[in-house]
Structure 1
Amino acid sequence: MQASFLVQLVMLLLLGISVVSWTLIFQRSKVLGSARNEMRKFEDKFWSGGDLNRLYQELAARNNLAGAGSIFVAGFKEFMRLRQSASASPQAVMDGAYRAMRVSLSREVDNLEKSLPFLATAGSISPYIGLFGTVWGIMNAFIALGEVKQATLAMVAPGIAEALIATAMGLFAAIPSVIAYNRFSHQVEKIENGYLNFMEEFSAILHRQSHSSSNAG
């Protein structure tokens, strides 16, 4: 509390960054955990052997649809729409369904990656903000030394103390942000790979349905 005004501003800024970072860490942890659970539940239901039309109607009726279910609904909806068109070839039907799933996939990944750039930025700049406070505190200590003929510890201690506190706060804000960013990025990558694997498997199913109906016609 007795630090210089500029170092106090640095500390307040680092405290604000830390509070926002921890808020986002808890929020993202909950979102990614829900996404993993949703993907497991959807895959269990999808591969249970039920009717795809029935599954589509059930999921399309939901208001808060997300994850693999959203990708499935987007692809199946476009597949059914194009298949009803007499001018659409089986390949055109498949291409349209796959594009619809890609758009839905991008939307889902963007939602999962929300707030991660802030954590990356906080982890990158917080040590430098703390270092600025450190330099300012040490500079004040040297200024205090230069104004007297005989230096004492009591004269330089406040400047050194505020410099060390600024450094510590910079690390306190940066380390959790970096750890969380790396962990969440890995989790998002795994979830995205799960979505991509589902898209390929679902595309194969739609491909068989498209060609079987074409041959039957």
Structure 2
Amino acid sequence: MLRKASLLVCVFFGGVLPLFLTVHAEQPTSAADTIDKQNTQDSKANAIANELTIATPQNDKVTTPQMNEATLDTHDLSVMGMYRAADVVVKSVMIGLLLASLVCWAVCILKSMQLKIAKRDAKKLLAHLVHSESFAQANQNLVQQKSDALQLLRATEHELKLTAKGPATDEALKERVVARLERVQASLSTHMNQGTGLLATIGSVAPFIGLFGTVWGIMNSFIGIAETQTTNLAVVAPGIAEALLATALGLVAAIPAVVMYNHFSRSITSYKAQLADILVAIMILVSRDLDRAHPQAKPLADLLNNKKAVAKAAKES
């Protein structure tokens, strides 16, 4: 019995007790390792979270310009590109302003040629009338010429023919000739003013038409902002640029129209002065012819001699 008990004690202390001690020794070590591992994992998670928190604004700053550039790249900001992307109303305004600008330049070219020819012919006619001795001589030498100012001579000739059919006084004849010449002069001035009213209208209305297109385009841009719920400048800028293009076209049409109108107003005023000089020259010829045919008319030498005799008698007295 003692031997069996000794054997059991030896087995217990030799095998079971070391195993038990080993198991209990490993359990505290495993718990400590587990805690250390959890602490390590927590620290790593916190570090990753901190890195993400710091990196998030930086990523936003980096990606935002890229989004803006990508948005801007989708819009063609050239003149034709903005026209194609514009609204139907804004397109209509742009087309109308371009047509108005073309009309202004067409009127400018035609009116410049018309005024140049008319003023040149009027200058030649005035010089011819000044050097003529009688109305018949002036009228005969201008048969082959073509000028609007010749209507003044034709009107004078017509009135002389009508007056020659019956008795008339010199004063009455002069009044009728002047009345006809003034009406012809007004008609020529009105004809020369044709087209300038269109320039004045375009010059005064074109900026407001362009402003209407701009207001309409900006209104559509704000509607787009409300629909997309974004205030990003890259989204808003193209629509506003398209709207402002209408105002620019309005100024392109209006500024040359105003300059042209002022230029032609001065030129037409100069032409009217030439017509007035022609009218005076014609009346001088008519008055000269009437004095030569008047029964009480005297030669100029006799009139001068009479004036000298009267002046001499006044001095002697």
- Calculate the TM-score normalised by the size of structure 1: 0.90
Paired residue for 1:97?
Answer: 177
Q: How far does residue 7 in structure 1 lie from its aligned partner after superposition?
A: 0.1
AA matched with 1:88? A
1:7 corresponds to which of 73, 90, 93: 90
Q: How far does residue 121 in structure 1 lie from its aligned partner after superposition?
A: 0.5
8 Å contact from structure 1 (residues 119, 178) kept in 2: yes
AA matched with 2:174? M
Paired residue for 2:99?
Answer: 16
8 Å contact from structure 1 (residues 90, 210) kept in 2: yes
**SS of 2:85 mapped into structure 1:** coil
Instruction: Give CA-to-partner distance per residue, 1:25-46, whole Å, 9 cap, x none.
Output: 1000110111111111112222
Q: Which runs of 5+ in 1 are unaligned?
A: none
Is 1:57 matched with 2:133?
A: no
**SS of 2:142 mapped into structure 1:** helix
2:125 corresponds to which of 15, 22, 42: 42
Distance 2:194 2:142 in 1: 24
Instruction: Give CA-to-partner distance per residue, 1:144-198, whole Å, 9 cap, x none.
Output: 2222333212321222112211011000111111111111011111110121122
Paired residue for 2:7?
Answer: none
Paired residue for 1:70?
Answer: 151
Moved more, 94-103 or 169-178: 94-103
Q: Which runs of 5+ in 2 are unaligned?
A: 1-83, 298-317
Q: How far does residue 212 in structure 1 lie from its aligned partner after superposition?
A: 3.2
8 Å contact from structure 1 (residues 141, 155) kept in 2: no
1:32 corresponds to which of 93, 100, 115: 115
Higher Cα Rg: structure 1 or 2?
2
8 Å contact from structure 2 (residues 118, 147) kept in 1: no
Instruction: Give CA-to-partner distance per residue, 1:100-146, whole Å, 9 cap, x none.
Output: 21121122111211111111111111001000001111111211222
Runs of 4+ in 1 over 6 A off after TM superposition: none
Change in Cα spacing, 1:92 to 1:208, as seen in structure 2 (3 Å) is: same
Q: How far does residue 17 in structure 1 lie from its aligned partner after superposition?
A: 0.7
2:277 corresponds to which of 182, 194, 197: 197
Identity of aligned residues (%): 31
AA matched with 1:79? L
8 Å contact from structure 2 (residues 126, 281) kept in 1: no
Q: How far does residue 61 in structure 1 lie from its aligned partner after superposition?
A: 5.8
Change in Cα spacing, 1:157 to 1:50, as seen in structure 2 (3 Å) is: same
Q: How far does residue 70 in structure 1 lie from its aligned partner after superposition?
A: 2.0
Change in Cα spacing, 1:49 to 1:207, as seen in structure 2 (3 Å) is: closer
Q: How far does residue 60 in structure 1 lie from its aligned partner after superposition?
A: 4.9
Q: How far does residue 56 in structure 1 lie from its aligned partner after superposition?
A: 1.4
Paired residue for 1:130?
Answer: 210
Q: How far does residue 58 in structure 1 lie from its aligned partner after superposition?
A: 4.3
2:250 corresponds to which of 170, 175, 187: 170
Moved more, 181-190 or 45-54: 45-54
Is 1:88 matched with 2:168?
A: yes
Higher relative contact order (CA 8 A, sep 6+): 1
**SS of 2:131 mapped into structure 1:** coil
Equivalenced residue count is 214
8 Å contact from structure 1 (residues 3, 158) kept in 2: no
Distance 1:201 1:47 in 2: 6
1:155 corresponds to which of 216, 219, 235: 235
AA matched with 2:147? L
Distance 2:191 2:179 in 1: 19
Distance 1:5 1:159 in 2: 13
